Amino acid sequence: MKYLTKEEFDQVNSFGMGIPNTMFAKYFIGNSYLNLLTAPGKDPVFMANVTFEPGCRNNWHVHKSTSGGGQILICTAGEGWYQEEGQDPVELLPGKVIVIAPNVKHWHGAKADSWFSHISVEVAGENCSNEWLEEVLDQQYAKL
């Protein structure tokens, strides 16, 4: 279900919006918010609820790893998009799970007319790092 107002969205965003995602803001178009669900570096798996305002999306990026690694997205509220390089965009709705293999270029974010949240699960691996790349251009995004 689409949520254009924050007030309606807050009622269904069960994992909470958290705080402005200022540390990674330069890799997003629009505003995103981060609610840590586990403690980075302390818990064995890093999980966070990421919330995107309408139209917000992250840049193309790659979760690099020499063994294991990658990312899992568990869609929890609102509507969004996910796209791997060279593939058609995939609609993200609550309950949808996206498994992103390591070393795959992709982006994800909200639809233009809806708030959106997903839980991001960082898959453990060896020599893991994120490589942030170019923005998803407005012309590309507007075609969705």
Residue type, 132: W
Residue 1 domain-assigned (yes or no): no
**Can you tell me the distance from the alpha carbon of 42 to that of 21, in angstroms, rounded to the nearest whole number?**
20
CATH classification of the domain holding 35:
2.60.120.10
Q: How many helices (H) and strands (E) would you count in the chain?
A: 2, 15
pLDDT tens per residue, range 94-120? 999 999 999 999 999 999 999 999 999
Residue 10 domain-assigned (yes or no): yes
Q: Which two tokens stand for residue 70?
A: 């990658």
Alpha-carbon distance values, 43 to 38, 91, 92, 115 (Å): 6, 31, 27, 29
pLDDT in the model for residue 40: 87
Work out how many domains the chain is built from and give that number.
1
Give one word for 22, left, alpha or beta, with left for phi > 0 and alpha for psi -120 to 50.
alpha
Q: Domain span at residue 23?
A: 6-142
pLDDT tens per residue, range 63-99? 999 999 999 999 999 999 999 999 999 999 999 999 9
**Can you tell me the distance from the alpha carbon of 61 to that of 75, in angstroms, rounded to the nearest whole number?**
19
pTM of the predicted model, to two decimals? 0.95
Residue 20 domain-assigned (yes or no): yes
Strand partners, 48: 36, 120
Residue 120 domain-assigned (yes or no): yes
